[in-house]
Amino acid sequence: MATGQRSNDRVEEQLLEALDAAENREVRYHIRETLQHLHLDDG
């Protein structure tokens, strides 16, 4: 399952980049929620 983890790492990297670029507060909230779900699914 290493491929899945690498894929998750790439998604996380893209989400963090989007979070940095997002100016809308609501968009930032949803990106953070998605990151949280991504980490919950790692376990």
User: Residue 40's closest CA among 18, 17, 8?
Assistant: 8
State CA 41 to chain mean position distance. Answer: 11
Q: Which residues contact 11 (CB under 8 A, 6 or more apart)?
A: 38
Question: Higher confidence at residue 41 or residue 14?
Answer: 14
Q: Please report, rounded to a whole number, the percentage of residues in the chain having pLDDT higher than 90.
A: 65
Residue 33 pLDDT greater than 60, yes or no: yes
Domain extent listing, the chain: 2-42
At 3, is the pLDDT very low, low, confident or very high (cuts 50, 70, 90)?
low
Read off the DSSP letter of residue 19: H
Residue 21 banded pLDDT, cuts 50, 70, 90:
very high
**pLDDT in the model for residue 25:** 98
